[in-house]
Amino acid sequence: MSLRASAAHLNPVYRLVAVAGLTIVAASLHHSASSSHSARWRARHPSHKAIAMRVLIRTYDFDDLGGSGASMRTVADFLQACGDETWAPRGRETLERLRAWSPGVVLGQQWATEEASMWAIALGVPFVMFVRGPGQYEHFMPQCDLVVFNASSQLELALPAIGRTPAAVLHPPVLPADYATDGGGSHITLIGTGALKGADRFLTLARKFPDHPFLWVTDEPSEAPPSNVEVCPRTPNMRSIYARTKLLVMPSRSESYGRVAIEAAMSGIPVVASDLPGIREATAGHAVLVADEREWVTAVRNVLANIEPHRRAALALAALRDPSVELEALRSRLQALVDAGRRRPTLSLCMTVANEAATLAKAVASVREVVDEVIIGVDTRSSDDTAAIARTLATDYFEYTESSPPDFRRMRNRAMERVPTDWAIVLDGHEWIENAHLIRPALETTAWSIEIRTLFEPDANRIPGLSFPFPRIHRRHVRFVGAAVHEEVSTPVARRSRQIDIRVWHERKPGSAATTRGAEKSGAELDVLRAAWQERNDRRALFYLANGLRESGRLEDAVEAYSTYLEAPNFEEEGWQARLYLARCHAARQAWPAAKQCFEQAILAWPERAEAVIGLGHVLLAKGEARHAAAWFRMAAGLPEPSDCRLFVEVPAYRWQAWHGLALALDRLGDYAGALEAETEAKARGAGAWADVNIGRWRALSGHGTGNGAGS
């Protein structure tokens, strides 16, 4: 099957065949083509306007002697010769200067890709990434309007990652005027350094042909060569190298394309090369390819013994690579991008659900206006109308059978593997998004995952029990990892952005799904977490194991698990959270000295957090130290809710819990008027209906001066 046919369902693939290259020396920040090269290109394109496009180029190797730098210079020169203006800044540039220049498109490659992508986002213009080797696109995963690969084989490898992103192939450009000689050289030549370029194989060949001169073009010879090998440093004048070359060898172990084979062909120099996909594509049947390492000596000897047919094959390869047509195709593609403007990022909703009939439609409706695809997988064990509802809502519906407890990594990844768009937002069937209109602007980022605010299990007054940022919006290549029952994402922290104004409300309704999940969390899920800790030393699993034991009332086991975890926390904030929960376990067991010590340690570690301060207040209250407790509750009441935490913030602690604790302490001190005032404040801040009972009691007591105190 052809590349076009195999990729047709995913990608508009624009085939830009191998094009010729130029060596250009830029005299200023703005790229200036040499007059001879410009004249050559303009002779072919006399009708272009003075400036049709402004193309901003970001690459850190623009002035390199060969490779990707030379290829990008060729593209820049061709565009200038067609009447376009290009700018390839050498150093750092301010956004103000870039914006003032007003480019229509940004090109980037290699290690400059991320910066170039950021420029395009800030300027609001299309971004084109040039990929020069395997894995480069996957390494950066930028938001692209077009991805240009240097070989069809590289594009095929990247198809799972690029999805629907438009892609093209532009082979590294080679121009005869820069490389052509009379082909009368005498050396067997290698251009390159190290094992990947096959330097060791080259030196072995030199030893097998001691009477033949060899030429090694390298700045870093890996070892002392035999006496018949001349080492020559890299040079901008590659014609001088090919003028001395009779046969080019490419004993590479890895090549994304093999540009030097085309350069040599311009002089009719035969090529013997490793049989690699990139080299096969570059040479198009016009070179001798060696698949078995043991056949190198034979292959070289055979070519030297009958070289003329191989010279003719090289010249045929040179004739095959006409630059003008394919560079013109690239330019037309760039012009279309400039005319169309920056491509809108695409987004899928990803869901895997079971027994969510009561809430599934609300979840989908909360984002339906901003997503392009709705992917819903339904567990075959679901017993309500979830499957029927999902079929009416999904653009991509599938079924699966999940284990109990569920493997959340596997479950999430089932849906992520079906994502055809740039981005995916992951929701449960009992969740819904607030401020979905902010999602689209948030996708204009170089991040791989976007953390949004999760509001967990709100009460009757819509105050969530927990608030925490969690990555919910992901580039399509992101996958879920970690312990099976508490999944994480593969995105490094440095590759995440945060949009806390986008909120996801997590509120599971009572029913079979909630009942099943509760049983799993206190039963089989603990076994999965324990196995992850004991068998793989997964400390994240240990943290969640301790949490599960605490929530299940197994306090002694939880104390042991938290204590073990705290010997080497994963990161500082999670360590603080574990110490807070350990203190609560001690308090629940009425181990007051241990509880007091743990709460105090948590306060010292993070004095801005109210949860530990409130916990210490309740311990002091239980010990009969109401006056000291009141002081701690007052301190907690003045602390603002933090907004920059990685883990859980207990929202009620910053709304009403400190005021309620203060009311209890003042009640113990006989200050019923103060207790009434504090509980009234707690009620105004969202305390439950029980606060009304306390307010009534303290109102009565403050009038009579006696009473039995308050509850809750």
Strands 464-475 and 423-426: antiparallel
Q: Is residue 648 part of a domain?
A: yes
Domain membership of residue 338 (yes or no) is no
Question: Terminus-to-terminus CA distance in the chain, angstroms?
Answer: 72
pLDDT at 69 over 90: no
| 187 and 310 both lie in a single domain | yes
Tokens (6 digits) for 37: 């090269």
Nearest to 418 by CA among 147, 160, 167: 160
Q: Are strands 288-290 and 423-426 parallel, antiparallel or unpaired?
A: unpaired
| Domain of residue 674, CATH code | 1.25.40.10
For residue 28, the model assigns a pLDDT of: 32
Lookup result for tokens 């075959």: 380
Structure tokens at 195: 């094992």
Q: Give the bridge partners for 578, in sequence order.
A: none
Residue 329 covered by a domain:
no
How high is the pLDDT of residue 654?
Answer: 98
* Separation of alpha carbons 257 and 150, rounded Å: 7
Classify residue 448 by its DSSP letter. S
- Structure-token match 């330097």, residue found: 199
Cis peptide before 405 (omega within 30 of 0): yes
How far apart CA 363 and CA 360 sit, in angstroms, is 5
- In the predicted model, what is the mean pLDDT of residues 141-149? 94
Length of the chain, please? 712
**Cα(19)–Cα(262) distance, integer angstroms:** 10
Same domain, 52 and 10: yes
201: which 2 tokens?
Answer: 């194989």
18, pLDDT greater than 70: no
Which band of pLDDT confidence, cut at 50, 70 and 90, is reported for residue 256? confident
Question: Which of 11-20, 100-109, 410-419, 663-672 has the weakest average pLDDT?
Answer: 11-20
Same domain? For 420 and 488 the reply is yes
Tell me if 563 is assigned to some domain: no
Distance between CA atoms of 64 and 172, rounded to whole angstroms?
Answer: 14
Q: By percentage, how much of the chain surpasses pLDDT 90?
A: 72
The reported pLDDT for the residue numbered 9 is 30
| CATH number of domain containing 161 | 3.40.50
Q: Is 445 in a helix, a strand, or coil? A: coil
Higher pLDDT: 403 or 137? It is 137
Among the listed ranges 27-31, 84-88, 309-313, 621-625, which one has the minimum average pLDDT value?
27-31
- Rounded to an integer, the average pLDDT of 22-45 is 41
Asked if 8 and 14 count as a contact pair (C-beta separation under 8 A), the reply is no
Name the range with the highest mean pLDDT among 171-175, 317-321, 439-443. 439-443
Do 450 and 472 belong together in one domain?
yes
296 and 160 both lie in a single domain: no
Q: pLDDT of 623-634, one tens digit each?
A: 999 999 999 999
Residues 353 and 374 in one domain: yes
d(CA 681, CA 409): 43
Q: pLDDT-derived band of residue 589, with 50, 70 and 90 as boundaries?
A: very high
Rounded-to-10 torsion of CA 495, 501, 507, 513: -30
User: Of 422-431, 528-537, 648-657, 667-676, where does mean pLDDT reach its minimum?
Assistant: 528-537
Together in a domain, 313 and 353: no
524 domain-assigned: no
The total of other beta-carbon atoms located within 10 Å of residue 510's CB is 8
Other beta carbons within 10 angstroms of residue 7's beta carbon come to 18
User: Is residue 274's pLDDT more than 80?
Assistant: yes
C-alpha pair distances (Å), 487 with each of 328, 348, 381, 425, 469: 48, 20, 21, 15, 15
Q: Report d(CA 293, CA 309) in Å as an integer.
A: 23
pLDDT in tens, 597-631: 999 999 999 999 999 999 999 999 999 999 999 99
Between CA 13 and CA 168 the distance in angstroms is 5
Residues 6+ apart with CB under 8 A from 70: 21, 22, 23, 64, 172, 173
The domain boundary, picked from 514, 537, 554, lies at 514
Token digits for 421?
Answer: 């768009």
Residues 21 and 94 in one domain: yes
Domain membership of residue 262 (yes or no) is: yes
What does the radius of gyration of the chain's CA atoms come to, in whole angstroms? 34
- Domain-embedded: residue 525: no
Rounded CA separation 667/670 (Å) = 5
Residue keyed to tokens 């970001």: 58
The reported pLDDT for the residue numbered 25 is 26
pLDDT, tens digit, 9 for 90 and up, residues 200-227: 999 999 999 999 999 999 988 878 899 9
For residue 154, the Cα-to-chain-centroid distance in whole angstroms is 20
Predicted confidence at residue 407, as pLDDT, reads 85
Q: How far apart are CA 251 and CA 705, in angstroms?
A: 97
Asked if residue 151 and residue 26 are part of one domain, the reply reads yes
User: Given pLDDT bands bounded at 50, 70 and 90, which one contains residue 17?
Assistant: very low
- Please say if the pLDDT value at position 484 is more than 70: no
| Per-residue pLDDT band at 517 (split at 50, 70, 90) | low
468 and 373 share a domain? yes
Choosing from 499, 514, 529, the residue where a domain stops is: 514
Same domain as 80, residue 42: yes
Q: What DSSP string describes 48-89?
A: --S-S-EEEEE-TTTT-SSHHHHHHHHHHHHHHHTT-EEE--
* Low-confidence winner among 511-525, 606-620, 680-694 (lowest mean pLDDT): 511-525
CATH number at residue 216: 3.40.50.2000
Q: Residue 610's closest CA among 686, 661, 575?
A: 661
Strand partners, 501: none
Q: How far is CA 174 from CA 17, 443, 486, in A?
A: 11, 38, 53
Q: How many CB atoms lie within 10 A of CB 401?
A: 7
**Contact partners, residue 322, CB within 8 Å, separation at least 6:** 19, 20
Among residues 307, 311, 189, which one has the least CA distance to residue 243?
A: 189
Split into its structural domains, the chain has a count of 4
- Domain of residue 352: give its range: 347-514
Angstrom distance (rounded) from CA 311 to CA 182: 12
364 pLDDT more than 80: yes
Report DSSP state, residue 272. Answer: E
Q: Using the 3D structure, point to which of 139, 170, 201 is the last residue of a domain.
A: 170
Say which residues have a Cβ less than 8 Å from residue 492's Cβ, sequence separation at least 6: none
Find all residues with CB under 8 Å of 283, minimum gap 6, and list them: 258, 261, 271, 273, 289, 317
Are residues 614 and 498 located together in one domain of the fold?
Answer: no
Arithmetic mean of pLDDT, 256-280: 93
Q: What is the pLDDT of the chain when averaged over all its residues?
A: 88
Confidence of residue 31 (pLDDT cuts 50, 70, 90): very low
Q: Per the domain annotation, does 217 fall within a domain?
A: yes
